[in-house]
Structure formats: C-alpha cells, structure tokens
Amino acid sequence: MSAPARDAAVHLAALRDREADLGHWLEHEPPPLDFVLAHLLAGTIGVLYAPGGRGKGFFLLQAAIAVACRGPGADPMELGLSSHGRAVYISAEDPSAVLHHRFRSMCAGMPPATREELREQLSVVPAYALGIDVGSPAWCGALAQYCEGARLVVLDTFRRVHHEDENGNGEMADIMSRVEKIAAETGAAILLAHHVAKGGDSARGATAIIDNARCGMSLVTLQTDITGTKETLRAHKFSLTRGGKPLPEAAAHRFVRVEYSKVNYGHIVEEVDGQRWLERGEGGVLHAVTLYPVDAAGTEGGRTKKAKTEVLKSGRSDQAKPTEAEDDEW
C-alpha cells in the first residue's frame, strides 16, 4: 500500500471512530457544560488581550490561583468558580523575580491550609528566554505532557510561545490548531495572553487568532470608553456606593473590567444593579468591587451639580483635578 493510501486509511478510521451515536444522543440528556472560567469551556482556547500595563499578568496569575484553590483568600476577584483543579501558569514574558513579587503579594494573608493547597495544585513556570515554540511538534508534546490533568493552562504571552508571522492568517490558524490539540489532549482550558494593535484596544495580528478561540476577552479601564477606540475619563460616571459621589478622575487607573468580544458558549448576563469591576490594591493585586452608575440627571459636565456649584464658589476651574486630600477619600 502506498503512503498516501495508508494515510487515507488512518484518517478514515479516525473519522469513523469519532462518529456520534445519535441514538444515544436522542435517548439521553447531554452532560452539563464544564466551564473553567466564565465562558471558557474545558478543552478549548480563550484569548485575553489588553495593552501593556493594564493588568493582564495579575489577572491571569490570580485566575490560576483561584482555579487551583478553593480555600479562603484564593479568589479576591470573586470569579464564582464551581469547580477547581490543577492550574499551570507559564510566563514567557516576565522574569522569575517579578513573578516572585507578584505571587507573594497575591498570597499575603492566606491561611496555611490555602497555601498548602496552592503548593499542591498550582505550577508556575518562569519561562522567560526558554524559547517555547508551539509550532514545534517536540514543544507541543512536552507541553501536553507537562500540563496533563490540568484544568487551566495560561500561556503568557502568545507572541512569545511561537515563531510565526503574527499577521499571517494561515500561520496563525496553524498555531492555534496546535494549541487546540494540546487543549484536547489534556482536557484543560488554555488561556492565551495577547497584546493589542498599536494605538487601539483590538487584538493584534491576524483575525485567525480570535476566530479560532472560543472565548475572546479584553481588559478595559475607567480611562477607556466602552468601545475601546479612544481614551476618555469615565470615572465621573461611577460611584463606589449607590447614590454616592462620583469617583475622581485621578482614581480611574485603579479600576479594570473584563469585557467579552467573543462568546461561543454560555450567555452573558446583563448587569442591572451596578457593574462588577476589579480594583488594584496593595502590590497591584486585583479585588472585586461593584461600581454604581451616577444618576445622569444629577450631573452636569461630568460632576454633580452640587460639586460644580462648590467649585464655582471656590473659584477653581471645573476641569481642575481633585487635590490629594480629596483623592484619599477614595
């Protein structure tokens, strides 16, 4: 038998092996979908993209900790996870010392039992300058073996774990299919950290990157309008309490929020009373907070009418930034 004929026979056997038993499907309810994170299904790929410095690294490492641990202090972002398991965080961008600082900040205050669970369930690999290449069959095999049995695998960043042209749809479709194979073999959800296009908030590179992912999400801030196309200060539109004072503009950089650009599985629930945000705390660690929209009827020019009257009485410009003492209130 010729080589092409042998290959065709192997492929035919694979197709027949995968053929669904429709009788079973008709007679039995399907199992519930296994979400590792919101809208990120086990065995599939998600992409988180944002400009540098917005908090991708913190979010991803904290998400890995939350998946690995169910103990107190493991999930200050309040991700609402229903199940836990081994998590693998592979950082190809940040050196070991930086990760050490972040990890210590994230684990501050954790009780001993949570720390012990973390040691057993979380693997952190400082892979800076290691040369990981998912375009290589050898590297794909090594990653699949290392991540066997994991529930979540984070690759930070996508650009640093392959050597192909990021703008080529064919090349990126091939790379994503290799990552998909690792996800299928391990059963883990794989979350890729990715950068954005220069001067914008959309994912950088070929459209195949997001097209081939099952979940696409970005991090926006109170300094970025909801479309992500321009920088505007939105802090004055939100308050930390229902009916409270608007946040000062100087506080805008402290808050980030996950926005979904692509959801293949599950439904996004519209938030009715307040929005879930993440606030940077001590050491840059992200904590869940609820921000409430400021009543538009009670505002004028980005400040409350009362606040604007007080500004005019004091002789300060309406555009003046809050003093350090005013900012400390937040």
Is the four-CA dihedral 98, 255, 192, 43 of positive or negative sign? Answer: positive
Selected residue with higher pLDDT from 329 and 103: 103
pLDDT at 267: 81
pLDDT at 236: 85
Q: Which domain holds residue 90?
A: 32-221+253-286
223/237 Cα distance (integer angstroms): 11
CA 260 to chain centre: 10
Query: In this structure, what token pair is assigned to residue 188?
Result: 């883990």
81 falls in which pLDDT band (50, 70, 90)?
Answer: very high
In a domain, 49, yes or no: yes
The whole-model pTM stands at 0.85
31 falls in which pLDDT band (50, 70, 90)?
Answer: very high
Backbone φ/ψ region at 83: left (φ over 0), alpha (ψ -120 to 50), beta:
beta
CA 153 to chain centre: 12
Domains: count for the chain? 1
In a domain, 26, yes or no: no
Position 239, amino acid: S
Mean pLDDT across the chain = 87
pLDDT at residue 312 greater than cutoff 50: no
Q: Can you tell me the mean pLDDT for 49-69?
A: 95
Query: In this structure, what token pair is assigned to residue 63?
Result: 């998400």
pLDDT at 224: 62
330 falls in which pLDDT band (50, 70, 90)?
Answer: very low
Q: Can you tell me the mean pLDDT for 218-230?
A: 70
Local structure of residue 271 (DSSP, 8 states): P
330/319 Cα distance (integer angstroms): 19
Mean pLDDT check: name the lowest of 75-89, 128-142, 270-284. Answer: 270-284
In a domain, 41, yes or no: yes
pLDDT at 252: 87
Selected residue with higher pLDDT from 2 and 136: 136
Query: At 101, which CATH number?
Result: 3.40.50.300
Q: Can you tell me the mean pLDDT for 108-137?
A: 96
* Contact in structure between 125 and 62 (CB atoms under 8 Å): no
In a domain, 302, yes or no: no
pLDDT at residue 307 greater than cutoff 50: no
Q: Can you tell me the mean pLDDT for 139-151?
A: 97
Backbone angles phi, psi at 150, to 5 degrees: -75, 150
215/38 Cα distance (integer angstroms): 9
pLDDT at residue 173 greater than cutoff 70: yes
Element (H, E) at 86: none
pLDDT at residue 107 greater than cutoff 80: yes
* Contact in structure between 77 and 278 (CB atoms under 8 Å): yes
Element (H, E) at 140: helix 137-146
Position 108, amino acid: A
HSE, CB side, 13 Å, CA atoms: give it for residue 99: 17
* Contact in structure between 48 and 193 (CB atoms under 8 Å): yes
In a domain, 145, yes or no: yes
pLDDT at 296: 53
In a domain, 307, yes or no: no
pLDDT at 1: 80
pLDDT at 125: 98
CA 24 to chain centre: 36
202 falls in which pLDDT band (50, 70, 90)?
Answer: confident
Selected residue with higher pLDDT from 306 and 225: 225
Element (H, E) at 60: helix 56-68
In a domain, 8, yes or no: no
Q: Can you tell me the mean pLDDT for 71-94?
A: 95
Mean pLDDT check: name the lowest of 22-26, 114-118, 311-315. Answer: 311-315
Neighbouring-strand partners of residue 40: 37
The counts of H helices and E strands in the chain are 10, 14
pLDDT at 251: 87
Q: Can you tell me the mean pLDDT for 306-317?
A: 35
In a domain, 205, yes or no: yes
pLDDT in tens, 248-260: 888 888 999 999 9
Q: Can you tell me the mean pLDDT for 56-64?
A: 97
pLDDT at residue 216 greater than cutoff 60: yes
In the block, which residue shows the tokens 């690995």?
A: 68
pLDDT at residue 302 greater than cutoff 60: no
